[in-house]
Amino acid sequence: MADPTRESRTVQAMHAIDAITGAVIPPVHPSTTYARDTHNALIGGQDYRRPQGPTEKQAAGVLAMLDGAADARLFSSGMAAIAAVLETVPAGGHVVAQTEMYYGAKLLMQRAQKQGRITLKLVPPGDLDALTAASRPDTNLIWTETPANPSWAIVDIAKAADIAHAVGATLAVDSTCAPPCTTRPLELGADIVMHSATKYLNGHSDVLAGVLSTRAADERWDEIGVVYNETGAVPGAFETWLLLRGLRTLFVRFERQSETALKIAKRLLKNPHVGHVFYPGLKSHPGHVIARTQMTGGFGGMLSVRVKGGFDAAARFAAATKLFIQATSLGGVESLIEHRKPIEGAGSPVPDDLVRLSVGLESAGDLLADLGQALAVAHDQ
């Protein structure tokens, strides 16, 4: 028999049968400390939970397999994972990131710049000429996010990797919205991939966690390991166990979410109250051609619309849905809607009338009907 696919291995959490009990579902290991024998030798090879216990090791193993990585580490949140990468940039080091990306990560980098810890250049996502121009011999880190919040701009990962490597920089990719069932950045040439596991990987909006995976167990990865242990931003065992449970259904969830999101994007294109639809699965999306080769398992459940009527109409639309829940975050089984501008604040480049949707697993017909009625309500006023 040929080796099982990544999908099959994920469903079974890599065929993890508990050696002692035969349990098909792995146990949770909450212990923070580990015993020694009469010779003071560790019984199980580890002495303390930080940096990782057996449950975290098991989940990290599945994630490394999924990402095609030499190694993976689990963090207590996506932001903790991003902070660990940033921490490895030498003092005064040059970082290139995106004008459009998860705003929390951008704020963290801008803060490091204000403190004089790094120098930072932001370029529009997907603009490879701007990325080339921004990359210097002293560039230490290029940070990309694809698809990029909230217009879902697509970055050509293979080309971005070439640009980074030409100047000796590390390419890190925030692949939160394109989990490894659809995109594997390391196989396209990226050095580090980061996921907010809070989103699609867990998929049930009940775990906060982050992941870093690496193409090579190199010097930077060792340093990330030191930061990981010394700052202690490790996830709890129960959270990790829940993440492992959610991961098992990643492929089937993402496929259905992608299918429904495409239906919604196509329908919204025809809605007279909608000015623009951003979804990489639409032929009209500027990144569609690259997305087709880079997102092989679906374009995902994230889309955004610009609502005719400006800020107020967008606010009314998001408030008028009955099935979509007005809340932040993404990638869960429940569909969410969010008027982005009030969330990101006045300094954000996000348009006033942009509403972001995270498509869940409800019936497509119900979701379409809900959006239709909410747009009508928003424009009746």
Active-site residue set: 50, 102, 174, 199
Among 58, 144, 170, 198, binds ligand PLP (CB under 6 A): 198
Which lies closer to ligand PLP via its Cβ, residue 104 or residue 189? 104
Secondary element (H or E) of residue 227: helix 219-231
196 binds ligand PLP (CB under 6 A): yes
Nearer to ligand PLP, 102 or 251 (CB): 102
What is the b/e burial string over 318-328, where b = at least 16 CB atoms within 10 angstroms of the residue's CB? Answer: bebbebbeeee
Q: Does 254 bind ligand PLP (CB under 6 A)?
A: no
Q: Tell me how far apart the alpha carbons of residues 216 and 95 are, in angstroms, rounded to a whole number.
A: 20
Q: Where in 8-37 is the site for ligand PLP (CB under 6 A)? A: none
CB 11 within 8 A of CB 248: yes
Decide if residue 105 touches ligand PLP (CB under 6 A).
yes
DSSP string spanning 124-177?
A: -TT-HHHHHHH--TTEEEEEEESSBTTTTB---HHHHHHHHHHTTPEEEEE-TT
Smallest distance from the beta carbon of 103 to ligand PLP, in angstroms?
A: 9
Question: What does the alpha-carbon distance between residue 97 and residue 195 come to, in Å, rounded to a whole number?
Answer: 16
202 sits near ligand PLP (criterion: CB under 6 A): no
- Judged by CB under 6 A, the number of residues near ligand PLP is 16
Q: Indicate the burial class of 24 (C-beta count within 10 angstroms; 0-12, 13-18, 19 or more).
A: exposed
Taking the complex as a whole, how short is the minimal distance between the CB of residue 290 and ligand PLP, in angstroms? 18
Q: Based on the shown chain and the rule CB under 6 A, indicate whether residue 146 belongs to the binding site for ligand PLP.
A: no
* Site membership for ligand PLP, residue 174 (CB under 6 A): yes
Rounded Cα distance between 52 and 39, Å, is 24
210 binds ligand PLP (CB under 6 A): yes
By CB under 6 A, name the one of 102, 143, 221, 251 that touches ligand PLP: 102
Stretch that binds ligand PLP, among 7-15, 170-178, 241-249, 334-342 (CB under 6 A): 170-178
Q: Residue 360, interface with ligand PLP (CB under 6 A)?
A: no
Residue 208 lies near ligand PLP (rule: CB under 6 A): yes
Q: For residue 267, what is the DSSP state?
A: H
| Min separation Cβ 31 and ligand PLP, Å | 25
Phi and psi at residue 51, in whole multiples of 5°?
Answer: -85, -25
Q: At 167, list the tokens.
A: 């100047």
* Minimum distance from residue 373 beta carbon to ligand PLP (Å): 28
Task: Rule CB under 6 A: choose which of 78, 236, 280, 300 binds ligand PLP.
Answer: 78
73-97 in b/e burial notation, b at 16+ Cβ within 10 A? bbbbbbbbbbbbbbbbbeeebbbbb
How is residue 291 written in tokens? Answer: 């997305």
Which residues would be at the binding site for ligand PLP (CB under 6 A)?
Answer: 77-79, 102, 104-105, 145, 149, 174, 176-177, 196, 198, 208, 210, 329
